[in-house]
Amino acid sequence: MQPRPPSDRFLELAARLRAGEEPALDDVALALDADLNPETDPKAARDGLEALAERAEKRLGRVHDPGGRVLGLVDFLHRDEGFRGNTESYDDPRNSFLHQVLVRRKGIPITLSIVTIEVARRLDIPVHGVSFPQHFLSRATGNVDLIIDAFAGRTLDDEECTELLRRAAGPEATFDRRQLRPATAREVLIRMLGNLKHVHVASRDYARAAECCERMLLAAPELLGELRDRGILHEQLELYGAALGDYDRFLELASGDPSADKIRSRRDLLRNRVN
């Protein structure tokens, strides 16, 4: 099985992101969904988000306090609507596709955060994503400062954020809210694709993994590690010409990378085999 080329819609999205545009995250996620899953119905997914926002507004009722509205939204999505982290099958690829998460009510931190962010946007509640190490979060701002863990369906205090950070970065890591920079739309897309790539590599679906590398490079050509990895995946798929092209380009652009010597040896061995 060979990697599928990106759709025109995804190519357009990648160009917009390279230019620094900040489209809504549901647009980003659903463009990716439709690109990798032709059966995706983006309109149905958006209608689902609109319906969630309408029900959330009714649930919040006369709550006008900003903090109360954020807490009410988090509780509504988790308790009323049943959105939760898929702890039983975390590596299920469906967890990474927004349209599937809206149907199944299960996902991983980044897709569940997108649901929260997009429903909040429709309610004029300012919430943005945060690329926290190994666990995507969101943060409500404005007249409040609340950190949301959509995977667990609750907010986190500084002590809990410190604990989460130390799981990823080691026991000496220190937490400061100034670290919580808003994630750009491009960063969100790259992280979603990185998650999918990891899942596909683990299941030895190298064609799907190579598709993820290709799309990351379209949105962020500076990610030379993805060029290297795409070469390795192409080699696994016996697409030797493509692999050699990726290796040559990687070594041209990243000759000082720690992996360059190994990739050079790998390229030379492959070239001898092909010859």
Which residues, at least 6 apart from 218, have a Cβ–Cβ distance to it below 8 Å? Answer: 6, 10, 11, 14
pLDDT of residue 1: 79
Q: If we measure between CA atoms, which residue out of 257, 219, 214 comes closest to residue 239? A: 214
SS3 category, 140: strand
**Counting Cβ atoms within 10 Å, is residue 261 exposed (0-12), middle (13-18) or buried (19+)?**
exposed
pLDDT of residue 45: 97
pLDDT of residue 49: 98
Fold for 8-179, please state it: C8orf32 fold (3.10.620)
Phi/psi-derived region of residue 183, left when phi > 0, alpha when psi is between -120 and 50, beta in every other case: beta
pLDDT of residue 176: 87
Instruction: State the pTM of this model.
Output: 0.95
For the chain, the structural domain boundaries read 8-179, 222-274
pLDDT of residue 62: 87
pLDDT of residue 134: 87
Q: Which amino acid, one-letter code, is at 160?
A: E
Q: Note the pLDDT tens digit of each residue in 94-120.
A: 999 999 999 999 999 999 999 999 999
pLDDT of residue 57: 96
Residue ranges for the chain with pLDDT beneath 50: none
Which residues, at least 6 apart from 183, have a Cβ–Cβ distance to it below 8 Å? Answer: 128, 129, 130, 131, 136, 191
